[in-house]
Amino acid sequence: MQAKDRELLRKLPKTDLHVHLDGSVKPSTLVELAEAQGIALPAAGANGMRPYMSVGEECGSLVDYLSKFHWVSQVLHTEDALERAAFELAEQVAQHNVRYVEVRLGPQLHRGKGLTVDEVLLAAVRGLKRGEAAFGVKGRVIAACLRNHPVAANREVVEAAVRLRDRGVAAVDLAGPEAGYPPEQHKEAFAPAIRAGLPITIHAGEAAGAESVRGALLALGARRIGHGVRTKEDEATLELVKERRIPLEMCPVSNIQTKASPGWDRYPIREYVEQGLAVTVNTDNLTVSDTDMTKEYGLLMEKFGFTLQEIGQLIVNGVEAAFLDETEKSALRRQIVHELQGYGISAV
């Protein structure tokens, strides 16, 4: 891809609806936090630590991918560290003209020094609010439950998210190992979100097949699906996703790295778009996947021949799928559609 095309892609206004806070911490920040907290790291400096935090092209498996969270997972147990990571995430996505970001984190994973679930979530919210003021990126938090956590721990997360919905928490998610932990097990944990009408998005169809997507929709009431790459393995599930107009939060670079898809030639994004699915494009983990929104869209142009017009439509799909109230969503839509028109892209 030529530099001028990349620069144009960078300038387009965008959303990122699926990005994990812990997978997006800058190596330099990990180094500083570890030093301040007295945690010994296996290598010196940001450059030394980068290979321990990013998978690169040769990622072997999901296990390899998940190992890259190891060091970061030790430093994000204070309000200051969480706030800083969220603020810097806004700063990083602003460089790619992301105008709206939904940042997810699993509060139970950040309680090693005694923070409550509410404190963890509010620290991230504060970082995003500061990020909005400094970089003009509107941000919301998604509180993630973990598949391998007990129902009670997940229910605590969902109840906190419901409590904090007017304070910057937009939705709840279910993440973690997909195989062996079917969505049905978590029905009880998500009940408070369903009762309160708080949006639910579920990681599904990444490490497990279409039955996981189906379960996320039918058992847990998911309004969006995280990844959903393997939805096409079952025709009826594909129809269900289409019928209910369920947005898929696809994360191309990550999906190839974790082997959710065996390779670019088998990655179904073009066929999902052509079948009329609400495909959105996201990063998953800025640092672990070593990616950004410009790179994601650039790869779609290179590997699948997406035109700028089609990229514009994917961007608008992201706006439509945002967990914002109608007033805020229309303001974001107006702004983004107008800016896209400035680049000769008319998306609806």
- The catalytic residues are 206
With CB under 5 A, what is the number of residues at the site for Zn ion? 1
- Name the segment binding Zn ion (CB under 5 A); options: 39-47, 233-241, 279-287, 318-326: 279-287
> Residue 212 CB, nearest distance to Zn ion (Å)?
14
Site string for Zn ion, 283-302 (x = CB under 5 A): -x------------------
Closest separation between CB of residue 18 and Zn ion, Å?
Answer: 6
**Position of minimal CB gap to Zn ion:** 284
Q: Which stretch binds Zn ion (CB under 5 A): 85-93, 137-145, 187-195, 278-286?
A: 278-286
Dist CA 248 CA 182 (whole Å): 19
> Which is nearer to Zn ion, 83 or 284 (by Cβ)?
284
Residue 286 Cβ vs Zn ion, minimum distance, rounded to whole Å: 12
> DSSP H helical segments within the chain, as ranges?
3-11, 27-37, 45-53, 62-67, 79-94, 117-135, 151-163, 187-196, 210-218, 235-243, 252-257, 269-274, 293-304, 308-321, 326-342
91 to 120, contacts with Zn ion by CB under 5 A?
none
| Nearer to Zn ion (CB atom), residue 132 or residue 206 | 206
Query: Distance between CA atoms of 303 and 325, rounded to whole angstroms?
Result: 35
- Taking residues 221 to 250 in sequence order and writing x for each that binds Zn ion by CB under 5 A, - otherwise, the string is ------------------------------
Smallest separation (angstroms) from Zn ion to the CB of 43:
26
Token representation of residue 86: 């969220």
Spatial distance between the Cα atoms of 306 and 238, rounded to a whole number of angstroms: 22
CB count in 10 Å sphere of residue 1: 13
Identify which range of 111-119, 235-243, 276-284, 288-296 contacts Zn ion by CB under 5 A. Answer: 276-284
How far is 232 from 245, CA to CA, in rounded Å? Answer: 15
Question: Residue 12 or residue 53: which is nearer to Zn ion going by CB?
Answer: 53
The minimum distance between CB 144 and Zn ion, in angstroms, equals: 8
Query: Cα separation of 232 and 90, whole Å?
Result: 33
* Cβ closest to Zn ion, residue 260 vs residue 337: 260
**Cα–Cα distance measured from residue 86 to residue 81, given in angstroms and rounded to the nearest whole number:** 9
Angle at 59 between CA 55 and CA 62, to 5 degrees: 95
Looking at beta carbons only, is 255 or 313 nearer to Zn ion?
A: 255
Q: Which two tokens stand for residue 243?
A: 């019928």
Q: What's phi and psi for 288, nearest 5 deg? A: -60, -45
Q: Which residues bind Zn ion (CB under 5 A)?
A: 284
